[in-house]
Amino acid sequence: MTRGRLRVLLGAAPGVGKTYAMLEEGHRLVASGRDVLVAVVETHGRAATAAILEGFEVQPRTTIEHRGVTLDEMDLDAVLARHPEFALVDELAHTNAPGSRNEKRWQDVHELLDAGINVYSTVNIQHIASLNDVVQQITGVVQRETIPDAVLRGADQIEVVDLAPQALRDRLSEGQVYPATRIDAALSNYFRLGNLTALRELALLWLADEVDSSLKRYRAEQGIDAKWEARERVVVALTGGPEGETLLRRGARIAARSAGGSLLAVHVMSQDGLRESHPGSLARQRALVEQLGGSYHQVVGDDVPRTLVDFARASDATQLVIGVSRRSRLAALLSGPGIGQTVIRESGDIDVHIVSHAQAGGRFALPRLTGGLTRRRRVWGFVVALVVGPLLTLLLSANHSDASMASDVLSYQLLVVVVALIGGFWPAMFAAVLSGLSLDFFLVAPLHHITISDPLHLLALGLFMIVAALVSYVVDQSAKLSLLSRRKASEAELLATVAGSVLRGDDALHALVSRTREAFGLTGVRLLDGGAVLYADGDGDGTAVTEAASRGSAHPAQVTSLPVADDVVLELTGRDLDAADRRLLGVIIVQIAAGLEHSRLAATAEEIGPLAAADRVRTALLAAVGHDLRRPLASATAAVTSLRSAGIRLDDDDRAALLDTAEVSLHALAALVTNLLDVSRVQAGVLAVTLDDVDIDDVLPLVIDELQLPPGAVELDLADDVPAVRADAVLLQRAIVNIVTNALRFAPEETPPLIAVSTFGGLVQLRIIDRGPGIPEERRDDAFVAFQRLGDTDNLSGIGLGLAIARGFVEGMGGTLEAETTPGGGLTMVISLAAAAGDSRPDSELTAPPLTKEA
């Protein structure tokens, strides 16, 4: 069966005309010859809505009694039985009355969609779960009825019914929304102009975001990588430094210049990355992003410029905002092109804004040691030693004197320290040897000869070498520790983000999968169990990757599979992962494995639940059988023993009484054993059912004969031309006997039970109605559980199998047995069976008499 389509009309506030627009669309469908049913519409006393409702086929509502109050709700079963092509269902977020089959109306709508019925519905922006707190801040009103975002986003079509705020206030003032007694209060509170403007903006932005999500899904399915400038998307790169607020405000202004522009802030966690760790600054900047209406993201990447550009492309960004480097000119000279230049080179068609700020690098500052000693730094260490060493020697030779020897030695020592700071161990050792030789050759007599005439000169050279080694060792260790600490901090931040998602109530496995994709800049992540997809995020089905590969994409995505558990694999689509990424993924995989184990344990616990329930049933069976089998068996045994006793003289009356006792006891014993066999067949699922066309008129006399009922003990109310049903005649008779027996036990003598038969929607419904005490709504399901007597403890009522057997027989025939409250008090048991194929008639000819008439 094809699933129905859901179309939702979204409004900013009550009174914008959602219901009216839905009914107008319904009239258009009816005019085009389509089958339309008004399942439920709330007019709220509005004359215009009531007027346009005329001309529709309206499904009568069902009534539910709750704490002495009669509540009207949509008759879901009747709508399903009617099965129109289109159903109009107002107020999608409505909460059903207690006792309804579903808690929320949107759950009723899902049943209609599953049945192949197309649904038109309405909802207000304040009922969307993710916006509930925002609406409360704007209006000061707490919304109790909400609908999950996923339910609304799952609709096939969403339309905003828009109305200018002042026009809505005018409509309210004219009495078109609320009664006159409520107009002033509404205008002064919820319907203030500022409130309505904010709600309208929320509705439009929410729909724009939904359109954006749909566009992303389409582009992923089609494998489209090129930028589509449908609207401005500004990505701001945050380092954690104090310049972040300046960049964010500049990015917000850029986004604000285009209607509907969005702001995204991204922070790259890396081992040699864009920032130094300032958790406090990042926390403040994240709060500022939310105040500016943007979103905050964290990603992991060793190559910061590439990671930024990849994130911007994945977000379909049109603008990328970065700050001027905080490095000094000397540091920039030593480490080569900075992040800004690399981002500009890699950005392609994304506009890059480099924003100056107060924290830009100083002109003569020493290089900041923010990473490991790369090959470039070692080369620069040798270059400084080779260039600065001779220049220093030339300078010292020109100003040499006997009194300047100490300053000459310290000058060479300073050169060795600087080279060690720049290039590490080997450039420092080279500079120490070069400085020692230069000092001896150019500044120590005899000049221009390398002669070590004084042991102190040899000691000076050795001290040069020791100082160089110590300083370079400290620099190397510091670089390694800095590298390690940065990587650990990045991993900790990622794991903290994942843990935070789980603590906020997200599904653990889903949070791990989605955060893994975002943090490592992947296009898709899937968790597979034996080839079946458990969870997927991003390009979950691999369609975009396959199509891109078939077209010969310039940047084909790579697929990496990592084992998690037996037959469970984590599949990563996107860039190739290095060893450091794989180590962090190992930690995530351990958490995924733990989550899978927890899910499996939960599933095992659910499987054990029915076994425990079955064990309790067996215990109850033993207790019940131990009592109820003993009683008739003891009575029959005593009667037969008395009859066979030779020492007791019995007259005819005594003998007849004993025979009656034995007969009644053996009959009760046979009925009890039959019920036990029946319930065991039902529970074991081996009930033999032979379906045939059965006339209810033929079954009911057999029921009355089996129960040996006197005239007037049961009343009958049969509709005209009741069709035959598809049933097993024997099982149907047994089910009705059990239900009528139960009704006779509780019905008052002055009001006998009523058996009413009617047809509706291709079903034949048989109602057994009594005026007894009834069953509390919360305990109705217990009435159909075997060995439950709901407090009835007399020795004549059996062991509580009658209704359990009746439901098992009816469900075995493809029908249903439900309990309802009899209007005015009592219990109504409703057996619904399918009408025989030859007797089925159009729904318009099938009518069910109201319960009040039957009673």
pLDDT at 280: 65
Helix, strand or coil, per DSSP, at residue 763: strand
Mean pLDDT calculated for residue range 717-727:
80
Is the pLDDT reported for residue 691 higher than 60?
Answer: yes
End-to-end CA distance of the chain: 39
pLDDT by residue (tens digit) across 307-357? 888 888 877 788 888 887 755 554 455 455 567 778 888 777 788 888 876
Looking at residue 525, its pLDDT comes to 86
Rounded to the nearest 5 percent, the helix, strand and coil shares of the chain are: 50, 15, 30
Q: Mean pLDDT across the stretch 358-363?
A: 50
Specify which residues 559 forms β-bridges with. Answer: 573
**pLDDT (average), residues 168-192:** 78
Amino acid letter at 140? G
Better-predicted residue by pLDDT, 72 or 471: 72
Contact 387, 379 (CB under 8 A): no
Q: Are 564 and 527 in contact (CB under 8 A)?
A: yes
Instruction: State what percent of residues in the chain have pLDDT above 70.
Output: 73
27 pLDDT more than 80:
yes
Ordered structural domains, the chain, with CATH: 6-221 (3.40.50.300), 233-355 (3.40.50.620), 375-479 (no CATH), 494-581 (no CATH), 630-684 (no CATH), 692-854 (3.30.565.10)
pLDDT, mean over the chain: 75
Closest alpha carbon to 319 in 349, 289, 293, 339: 349
Per-residue model confidence (pLDDT) at position 767: 85
For 607-654, what is each residue's pLDDT tens digit?
Answer: 787 677 666 655 655 555 555 566 677 777 877 887 777 667 777 787
For residue 443, is pLDDT > 50? yes
Instruction: Give the mean model confidence (pLDDT) for residues 766-775.
Output: 84
The answer for residues whose C-beta is within 8 angstroms of residue 757's C-beta and 6 or more apart is 696, 717, 718, 719, 722, 764, 765, 766, 767
pLDDT number for residue 276: 47
Structure confidence by residue, pLDDT tens digits, 658-687: 788 888 778 767 766 766 666 555 555 545
Please report which confidence band the pLDDT of residue 535 belongs to, taking 50, 70 and 90 as the band edges.
Answer: confident
Q: How confident is the model at residue 827 (pLDDT cuts 50, 70, 90)?
A: confident
Confidence (pLDDT) at 560: 80
Range with the lowest mean pLDDT among 213-217, 413-417, 632-636, 826-830? 213-217
Longest dimension (CA), the chain: 156
Q: Which of the two residues, 764 and 325, has the higher pLDDT score? A: 764
Higher pLDDT, 675 or 511: 511
